[in-house]
Structure 1
């Protein structure tokens, strides 16, 4: 006759006993803009900017290697465009086909240096739009600071600009352009020119990820922008065209960089400071817009 173990039955009852579970925490999402807490937003932006240095360096090396890989001429392609443009415009000017006015320095030096500055500006603007598209592709798979893509593009622009300065230095020596102490201040004006390009590019970049027409439209905008900037001709002394050029924020930044690097006489002091303020504000607004817009771009992707 078998005996029933009371402990065994008690154990079996415990196996089927349903224990009460703790209530799950409730997460409430509110449509509150992050701009309502600007200090916290800027702290996050600054922290991500510092933490993105290593990734930006890796992206920079990859982009530079990819840029000149499978190329016979290599870095020569960096300064061929301004050289060809300068040679063509100089020929047209000397042949009296184009009347481009008198410049304070030899025209070949004037146009090659101006074209180098202008192409750096436009390349920076286009690179910022490219940074948004690159960030869109990677942020859908990895969670990394979006600032890394911007820093890598800026590094690539500075690298290309350093290469493009090689023929400019050669022209300075060939035409015996005097070097003054103001040359040390030229990088300050040049940085402001880059800041304006970065700010505008970051404002347009997220939009170009949503609408392909934005990039095509900017191509025509940049082409027309060249003609209202004193790149291939000097600043006119009077008239409506002078007023139009002075309203262009690129004009005082580019002209001041050129003046400081050549003659040392700054012709647009007030315009430079106004354009510098515009550049700083554009950079700040562009960074904020890029930071806030990219999560929505990634979500739509």
Structure 2
């Protein structure tokens, strides 16, 4: 596994450059698509909040900045989850005809996730300047929490990638599941403190990772360090297990595709 991972670096780089170029080449708005969903969601919920349609509650930073920042983190998680699934599905022909380290497909998508977040980082810096959000020394730890969030998403995506390559139902179901999952994650509202819904949100493994990343970048105070480390361990061990399953399953996927 280690040898294949090391051997896949050059191919992964070429695939990443190709995918990023294709993603933005035929788009009029180009890189703006990386930040448009966060801006639209923030505008919608800010309008609803100010109009009294929804009662969001108090947030640590101005609400529009809260939603836009949280949405960029959520987008990054979803991209890391869908990346392996999309990579394997798109490379069916190449997988069936050419022998190469399959890890290259996942690494290429991981590189694309980090590239897209770099684009989103422009929006985040603009939010800090526009809303005058204070910066603390804990900001330097926020990338570590973000990496843990990406690891969790990649572990889920890598686990589902082989089955998704064979059955389109998985891809459609995952798209539907992530849409529902968004509202179980404190992206547009603070973490609930009580009730059944609050318990569900707290059990969501994305919650402590996303919230900790947001807190380290804004207030500098971590509200649930225990939950963060539990979710991080789930993501890390989940990635190792998913990697093994991915390697064991891909030969069968190739056989089914080739037949």
Tell me if both proteins adopt one fold, taking TM over 0.5 as the criterion.
yes
Shift of 1:219: 1.4
Partners of 1:71 and 1:189 lie apart in 2 by 31
RMSD: 1.0
Distance 1:135 1:284 in 2: 22
- Provide the C-alpha distance between the structure 2 equivalents of 1:100 and 1:294, rounded to a whole number of angstroms: 45
**What CA distance in whole angstroms lies between the structure 1 residues aligned with 2:81 and 2:245?**
15
* TM-score, length of structure 1 as denominator length: 0.84
Structure 1: how far apart are the matches of 2:92 and 2:3? Answer: 21
Superposition map of 1:230-245 within 5 A: 230-245=186-201
For structure 1, the residue ranges without an aligned partner over 5 or more in a row are: 1-44
Is 1:150 paired with 2:109?
no
Q: Please, which runs of 5 or more residues in structure 2 have no aligned partner?
A: none
- 2:37 corresponds to: 81
Q: Which of 252, 267, 274 is matched with 2:208 structurally?
A: 252
User: How many pairs does the alignment contain?
Assistant: 257
Any idea what the Cα deviations from partners look like across 1:167-219, whole Å, max 9, x if unmatched?
A: 12111111110000000000111101000000000111111112111111111
What is the CA-CA distance between 1:135 and the residue it aligns to? 4.0
Matches within 5 A, 1:47-62: 47-62=3-18
User: Residue in 1 aligned with 2:150?
Assistant: 194
- Give secondary structure in 1 for the equivalent of 2:97: coil
How far apart are 1:274 and its partner, in Å? Answer: 0.5
Per-residue deviation, 1:136: 3.0
Specify the alignment match of 1:125 in structure 2. Answer: 81
Q: For structure 1, which segment, 282-291 or 126-135, has the greater mean C-alpha deviation from structure 2 after superposition?
A: 126-135
Superposed CA deviations along residues 2-49 of structure 1, whole A, max 9, x for unmatched, are xxxxxxxxxxxxxxxxxxxxxxxxxxxxxxxxxxxxxxxxxxx11011
Does structure 2 retain, via aligned residues, the 8 Å contact 1:60–1:155? yes
Kindly state the Cα deviation for residue 245 of structure 1 after the two structures are TM-superposed: 1.0
Deviation for aligned residue 1:134 = 3.3
Runs of 4 or more above 3 Å deviation? none
Q: Pick from 175, 181, 190: which aligns with 1:225?
A: 181
Aligned to 2:23: 67
> Offset of 1:229 from its aligned partner?
0.7
**Structure number with bigger Rg:** 1
Name whichever structure is richer in helix by fraction: 2
Output one character per residue of 1:120-173: Cα deviation in whole Å (capped at 9) or x when no partner: 111111111012223432121111100111110000111011101211211111
- Displacement after TM superposition at 1:237 (Å): 2.0
Provide the C-alpha distance between the structure 2 equivalents of 1:128 and 1:54, rounded to a whole number of angstroms. 18
TM-score normalised over the length of structure 2: 0.97
1:199-244 Cα deviation digits (max 9, x unpaired): 0001111111121111111111111111111111001122222211
- The structure with higher relative contact order (CA 8 Å, sep 6+) is 2
